[in-house]
Structure 1
Amino acid sequence: MVNFALMITAELENLTNLEPEGGCDDPNFTYYIKIMFVDLLVPQSILDLNSDPSDYRLEMRELRRDDEERDVEGNITMIAGRGRPLTQEISQAGKYAPLMVFDCRGFVPVEFSFGSGWKVESIEGTKFDGVDLSGDEFAEYDENGECPVMISNLRAVFEVAAK
């Protein structure tokens, strides 16, 4: 079993605290993750995860080189309490913020897709809820702070995390 941290970064213009609407441990947030089974010639699969329930068992059939099928399975468990929002300071430093940690058995996460259900706030304090990042960017105008706000250049990586 290996823990993988989902690390995110983006360019934040006049924005800070990018995270799922309910916070980093939001039980209703859906993660769109591409996974690959370990040591198998199984095609990559897309997995939609939310943390209720927090333990997912995955089953697939592997077609081996000798054309025989066999069952393969793995599971993933979300480990709450280890994520934090992407702040403007982290973004400007060119660093990544850990969004969620996953305990993975039998497969590794290889790609994350940003979707909807995010929140962020302007440096002037205006809150933006229901942000959809599936188009890879977000742009608005902060009326209260009288400034443009933007999220662009979204990136995500998975790193092996300490237990």
Structure 2
Amino acid sequence: MVNLMLMITAELENLTNLQPQGGCDDPNFTYYFKMRCGNCGEVTQKETCVSLNETVSLHQGKNTTNLVQKCKFCGRDGTVTMITGRGRPLTQEMSQSGKHTPLMLFDCRGYEPVEFLFGSGWKVESLKGTKFDDVDLSEGEFAEYDEKGECPVTISNLRAVFNVVK
């Protein structure tokens, strides 16, 4: 069992509080990533998606997990369970310092995520208070103009890492 924290950072211009649309524990937000089999090391060709509102029963329904996946190469099963309450929005201060912010904790057994893919369903707000909802980061950037604050706002240089957490 390995607990991996998804940590994100980006360059935020005139923006703060980047997070999933419904907050860091949004049950409807879908996380997309490539997975590596813990047995044979094979990395999935397609991205795997996981969300809090999708659960699978384990061991006669006593426990649940968010994902059960079989390796196409060696046939071993692996699971990924999401653990809430540990994520925070990416703030302007964290962005400027170049530090990563924790987003979601994953309990991984037999598989581990290796590459997070930013998609749609994000929210962010300008330093002047304008809210931008359902932001799509799948192209790796976001650019808009804040009419109220009279300034350009951008998200660029998106980066994500998975850190082992004890």
The normalised TM-score by structure 2 is: 0.90
Matches within 5 A, 1:1-163: 1-45=1-45, 46-54=47-55, 55=65, 56-63=67-74, 71-162=75-166
Q: Secondary structure at the match of 1:144?
A: coil
* Conservation of the 8 A alpha-carbon contact between 2:125 and 2:132: yes
CA distance in 2, matches of 1:149, 1:99: 22
Report the identity percentage. 63
Structure 2: distance between partners of 1:3 and 1:160: 6
1-structure distance, mates of 2:103, 2:112: 17
Larger fraction in strand:
1
Q: Deviations over 1:87-125 (max 9, x none)?
A: 000000010000100000001110000000000000000
State the 1:30 CA deviation. 0.6
Matched residue type, 1:33: F
| Corresponding residue SS for 1:125 | coil
Following the alignment from structure 1 to structure 2, what is the Cα–Cα distance between the partners of residues 59 and 44? 10
Give 1:68's aligned residue: none
Q: Which amino acid aligns with 1:30?
A: T
Alignment root-mean-square deviation, CA: 1.2
1:102-153 CA distances to partner (integer Å, 9 max, x unpaired)? 0000011100000000000000000000100001000001011111100000
Change (3 A) 1:148 1:41: closer
Counterpart secondary structure, 2:87: coil
Structure 1: give runs of 5+ residues left out of the alignment.
64-70
Residue aligned with 1:62, SS: coil
Residue pair 1:24, 1:84 contacting (<8 A) in 2 also:
yes
Unaligned runs of 5+ in 2: 56-64
Q: Secondary structure, in 3 states, of the residue corresponding to 2:71? A: strand
CA contact (8 A) 1:78 1:103 kept: yes
Instruction: Report the alpha carbon displacement of residue 39 of structure 1 after superposing the two structures with TM.
Output: 3.0
- Please tell me the residue identity of whatever aligns with 1:14: N
CA contact (8 A) 1:41 1:62 kept: no
| Matches of 2:83 and 2:162, distance apart in 1 | 14
Shift of 1:43: 3.8
